[in-house]
Amino acid sequence: MSKYLSLSRTLRRFAGAVAVAGFVILGLFQASPAAAAPRTCPFFTLNGRYVYGDPAAYYSLIGGYYTREEGIAYKVTGQFPHSTTYTWTAQDDYTLYPAPQGGNPESAYTLTDNQIAPAPGSVNPFLSGHLVSAPNRNYTLWVWPDSIPVPHGLKNVVRFTTKPADPTDKLIRWSVVARHYEMQPGYTVRRSLPTVQAVETSNPNVVIPCPFTKATEIAVETVSFAKQITTFVDRTYRIPEPTYSNRIYFTRTPAEFIAGPEGAPVGGAVNYLGAGLDPSKISVITMHRTPTFFNNQVLAPDALFGQYQVRFMSFVSPQFPVKADNAVNSNFATYQPDGSWVTVMLPSKPRLKRSEARQVRAKAALLGYNVVQEAAPSAVYPSGAGLAVRYKAVAPDFCCSVTKVPSWVDPDNPATAHNDYRDFGKQDSPKFFATYASNPSNMGPYWVGGVKETFDDFMKGS
C-alpha cells in the first residue's frame, strides 16, 4: 500500500455511497421542526466526524436542496452560540469555495463570529472584553445572492454564488455552512441553531415560503452531489513526505482538494497543515509553542472574552467516520511546561500489541504527551495514515499562523495550476521541505514538526 495520503480512491468510494445518504438526508429534513414550519427554511446538521471534519465541530447547511430561484435571499436570526468559534462559509454546490464573481471579494463569501454585529440591545460575546455568557446575545445576518446588489445599510451579509462552477451541471446548487467548534458544557448545537427565513431581495422585510426542493427531486439532487465529488477523482493529491528521512513535515493543503474549506483560501491552499505518516511507525508530533486560545470548557460565570492568537486548534487523523480517539484539540490537550504541545500517534498497520500500547501510553502520560490512535486504512479511506492540523479564527496580527507556511500551488497562473496540484505530492527533496513545510523560518517558535519511530526507539528515547 502506498505510504502517501491519497484522496482519489477515497472519493470514488464516497461518491458511490452518496445516493444512499440522500434518502437519509430527506428523512432528517422531514423530521426537522424548521422544515415543518411554512415560513422557515430547514437546516441539515452533521457532526464533523461524519464529513471528514473535526469531531469537535458541527456543520449546519442551508441551501443545497433549496430550489435555485431569482430574487430570493435569506434572513437568519438567532443568538450567538456558546462555542469556541462560529463561522459562515458559502460554497458552490456542496463542496467548493466559490471564486469571486461580479466584482465581489472572496471575503464576501465568509463571515466569522467576531465580524457579526449584534442586534440592538445585545452584545457580541466573541469580542474582547465582553461577557462570554452574556444573556443578551441576539443577531441577524443575511445570506444574499451575489448577482443582486445588497441594499444600503444591510449588515452581516454572506453572499452565495449564483453561477455554478460547472456550467454543464444544470442541477448544481449553492450552499452556506455554519460551523460550531467545541460547545461549552451544557449547550448543544441543535439548540443553538438560528431560524432561517426566505425573503424577497426587492424587500427584505417580506418573508416568503422557503423554496425547498420537492421530495421527489432530492434523490436526483444527490446524484448531482455525487457528480460534484467525482470531479476530484482525476486529481491525484498526495501529501509529500520524505523518503530519505524519518522526519515528519507539515505542508499546506491545496484548496482544490478539500471539500468545503473554511474561509478564503490563501495562496491557493487552505488554512490547515497536513502530513503523511508511516502507518507502521509511532509518530511523535510537536507544536513547539502553543498559541493562546479560548478554552470554553473552564469558564467562570463572569468570564470575559479575551484576545487570542488562535481561537481553537486540533490534530485530526482522517477517517470516515472520525473516531474520538483519532483526534485531540486545544481545549482538552495536555501541555508541556515550556508551552509546547506533544502528541504521540500510535501506528495503525500493524497496530501495536496491547502490551506495547499500554507501555507507550504509560510513558506518554509520564512525559505529559497526548496520545492519538492513527486512523486505520479502510474501504472508505484506504491510505489511513495522515494528520491534519487545524487553526480556527486566527488573529490578524498573529505572527506565526499556519498561513505563514508558503503554498506550493500558484492560483494566479491558470496555465500551470493543474500541474501544480498534480506535482505537489511528488516532491521529495530537502529543498522542497525547507521551503514549503512548517519550520522556524515561517512559523517562528510555533512551528510544527515530528519524527517517525519504532516501538523500541520510542521506549528508549528520553
Asked whether residue 109 falls in the same domain as residue 205, the answer is: yes
Residue 347 lies in a domain: yes
Which is higher by pLDDT, 84 or 94? Answer: 84
Does position 211 have pLDDT exceeding 50, yes or no? yes
Residue 2 lies in a domain: no
Instruction: Give the up-direction half-sphere exposure of residue 52: CA atoms within 13 A in the CB hemisphere.
Output: 17
Name the domain boundary from 162, 194, 229: 229
Q: pLDDT digits over 233-290, tens only?
A: 444 567 888 999 999 999 998 776 666 667 667 777 888 899 988 889 999 999 999 9
Q: Give dist(CA 126, CA 118) in Å, integer.
A: 10
Residue 25: what pLDDT? 39
Find out whether the peptide bond into 321 is cis, omega within 30 degrees of 0.
yes
Asked whether residue 194 falls in the same domain as residue 288, the answer is: no
Residue 1 lies in a domain: no
Residue 23: what pLDDT? 30
Pairing of strands 448-453, 341-346: unpaired
* Listed residue (8, 5, 25, 9) closest to 225, CA to CA: 25
Average pLDDT along the chain: 82
Residue 63 lies in a domain: yes
Asked whether residue 24 falls in the same domain as residue 151, the answer is: yes
Quick one: average pLDDT of 210-221? 66
Pairing of strands 44-47, 57-63: antiparallel
Residue 163 lies in a domain: yes
Q: pLDDT digits over 2-51, tens only?
A: 333 444 334 333 333 333 333 333 333 333 344 444 478 988 887 876 66
Give the range of the structural domain holding residue 117, as residue numbers without chain letter.
8-229
Residue 66: what pLDDT? 80
Does position 232 have pLDDT exceeding 70, yes or no? no
Give percent of the chain above pLDDT 90.
Answer: 51
Residue 3 lies in a domain: no
Residue 110 lies in a domain: yes
Residue 279 lies in a domain: yes
Which is higher by pLDDT, 386 or 379? Answer: 386
Name the domain boundary from 201, 229, 257: 229
Does position 63 have pLDDT exceeding 70, yes or no? yes
Q: pLDDT digits over 15-27, tens only?
A: 333 333 333 333 3
Asked whether residue 220 falls in the same domain as residue 349, the answer is: no
Asked whether residue 212 falls in the same domain as residue 248, the answer is: no
Which is higher by pLDDT, 138 or 44? Answer: 138
Quick one: average pLDDT of 176-197? 94
Query: What pLDDT band is residue 174 in, cutting at 50, 70 and 90?
Result: confident
Asked whether residue 266 falls in the same domain as residue 225, the answer is: no
Q: Give dist(CA 316, CA 303) in Å, integer.
A: 29
Asked whether residue 99 falls in the same domain as residue 50, the answer is: yes
Does position 57 have pLDDT exceeding 70, yes or no? yes
Q: Which of 42-51, 68-77, 123-132, 204-213 has the lowest mean pLDDT?
A: 42-51
Which is higher by pLDDT, 260 or 397? Answer: 397
Do 73 and 145 contact (CB within 8 A), yes or no? yes
Do 1 and 377 contact (CB within 8 A), yes or no? yes
Residue 4: what pLDDT? 34
Asked whether residue 412 falls in the same domain as residue 265, the answer is: yes
| Number of domains forming the structure of the chain | 2
Residue 22: what pLDDT? 38
Q: Give dist(CA 48, CA 60) in Å, integer.
A: 10
Q: Give dist(CA 42, CA 242) in Å, integer.
A: 47
Asked whether residue 140 falls in the same domain as residue 209, the answer is: yes
Quick one: average pLDDT of 321-343? 90
Q: pLDDT digits over 101-122, tens only?
A: 666 676 788 899 999 999 999 9
Which is higher by pLDDT, 382 or 48? Answer: 48
Q: Which of 17-26, 29-38, 77-86, 397-406 has the lowest mean pLDDT?
A: 17-26
Asked whether residue 218 falls in the same domain as residue 265, the answer is: no
Asked whether residue 245 falls in the same domain as residue 260, the answer is: yes
Cross-strand pairs, 266: 269
Residue 215: what pLDDT? 57
Residue 26: what pLDDT? 35
Do 157 and 140 contact (CB within 8 A), yes or no? no
Which is higher by pLDDT, 19 or 445? Answer: 445
Name the domain boundary from 229, 252, 278: 229
Task: Give the DSSP letter string of 410-449.
Answer: -TT-HHHHHHHHHHHTT--SHHHHHHHB--HHHHGGG-EE
Asked whether residue 201 falls in the same domain as residue 165, the answer is: yes
Residue 5: what pLDDT? 42
Q: What is the pTM for the complete model shown? A: 0.86
